Amino acid sequence: MADTNFIDYVKILCRSGKGGAGSRHYHRAKYVPKGGPDGGDGGRGGHIILRGNSHMWTLLPLKYRRHIFAENGQSGSENRSSGKDGEDVIIDVPCGTVVFDAETGDYLCEVTDDGEEVKLLRGGRGGLGNWHFKSPTNRTPRYAQPGEPAIEKAVVLELKLLADVGLVGFPNAGKSTLLSALSAARPKIADYPFTTMEPQLGIVEYRDRQSFVMADIPGIIEGASEGKGLGLRFLRHIERNAVLLFMVPADADDIAEQYKILLDELIRFNPQLEDKQRILAVSKSDMLDDELKEELAKTLPEGVPSVFISAVTGEGLTELKDMLWGAITDESNRIATPSITHRPLDRRHRVQEEDEFIFEQEAMPVDEEELDLEDEDWDEDWDYGVDTLDSEGN
């Protein structure tokens, strides 16, 4: 994976901006005796915001941008002048990006739509100036609020491809050949296992100028959910697919048994995949005559629509597209995005070279003026959680 531009897993360090300190200034003018406090408020620290971008298909830009820091808010000044807010940092990510906490592996948020903005880390609020605290009994307050501290967090970004149909099968089951026959995609095709080293997407044209997206992932072997082969790293790409197309070659020893092994691996990875609609395609059927097809049809799993296809001769491809389109457009097969359960990252689901990446954290500058400020003026119920931006950008 080091020589490819397709990056679907990256670990980065993010830090929002800290809020600026409020000012303790007092108004002084030649003809204004006892001017009183006029210290301004500190500016808000910058947010870290994720934004979906439909023109991106990989997390490659973030692989070379490991540290993302937002700007700090500036301190308030005299004449009730507020400090400047820190500039927000917007990170463009492909649609279908899921964010996890790098320390605990817990799911944080996801970005699925183009232009969708999710506030990953909130910037610290600016402190109030001393003019907020004046009263008839305290006319010269000598204190102001400090700015809220920044939030620093290491996160893992995973890309889960958005496709209508996901191809599932053992190595050399004919998945890449089928994708090249149905779409303009040109995946690598060879007569040895694991020729597909990264997911491939293809747009399949259908009747009346309609189309759907098909995704091909590297072959799955028995034990893939435990970390064997390449399937574990790419199984997450079929979590968003509306339909799963299982492909088993006609020369397999037991088609039903291979189908069961593939289904078990998916369920072990994410039990929610069992609820997705499935279609079984027996590939390389050009080697069979009508009599053998009838015999094999009796041994196929019950309750799963099946079809005999050949990507070389084109046999059964039209029937397959009709079945796929019917499953995609079936209203009962529509699963709302919020209902997708993202399993937490554990040791088996993580990329070792990313976890071993060492962050050289920069020391955060300390404002000596803030060391003397009172901390008890802050509200204790401030929420640091991930939030979605509203229409006003708050």
> For 249-283, how does the pLDDT look when each residue is reduced to its tens digit (9 = 90+)?
888 888 888 899 888 888 887 788 888 889 999 88
Task: Give the per-residue pLDDT at 196.
Answer: 56
- Look at residues 37, 116, 50 and name the one whose alpha carbon lies nearest to residue 89: 50
Joined tokens for residue 375: 């901390």
Task: Give the per-residue pLDDT at 194.
Answer: 54
C-alpha to C-alpha distances, 100 to 42, 103, 106, 118, 342, nearest whole angstrom? 32, 9, 5, 14, 10
Report the alpha-carbon distance of residue 163 to residue 214 in Å, rounded: 6
Side chain identity, residue 201:
L
Letter string b/e over residues 115-154, b meaning 16 or more CB atoms within 10 A of that residue's CB: ebbbbbbbbbbbbbbbbbbeeeeeeebebbbbbbebbebb
pLDDT by 10s per residue, the chain, length 394: 344 577 888 999 999 999 999 999 988 888 887 788 999 999 999 999 999 998 888 888 998 888 999 999 999 998 889 999 999 999 999 988 999 998 888 899 999 889 999 999 999 999 999 989 998 888 889 899 999 999 999 999 988 877 888 888 888 777 888 888 888 767 656 554 555 556 777 888 888 888 888 888 776 766 555 555 555 566 777 787 888 999 888 888 888 888 998 888 888 877 888 888 899 998 888 888 888 888 888 888 888 899 998 888 888 899 999 999 988 888 766 554 445 667 777 666 666 667 666 555 444 444 444 444 444 444 434 443 445 444 444 5
Q: What is the pTM of this model?
A: 0.73
Segments in the chain forming alpha helices (H): 60-63, 175-182, 231-234, 255-269, 290-297, 317-328, 352-355
Joined tokens for residue 177: 């050949």
Report the alpha-carbon distance of residue 67 to residue 91 in Å, rounded: 12
Give ∠ CA 207-208-214 in degrees, rounded to 5. Answer: 50
Task: Give the per-residue pLDDT at 382.
Answer: 43
Report the alpha-carbon distance of residue 36 to residue 28 in Å, rounded: 8
Letter string b/e over residues 314-327, b meaning 16 or more CB atoms within 10 A of that residue's CB: ebbbeebbebbbeb
Task: Give the per-residue pLDDT at 15.
Answer: 95
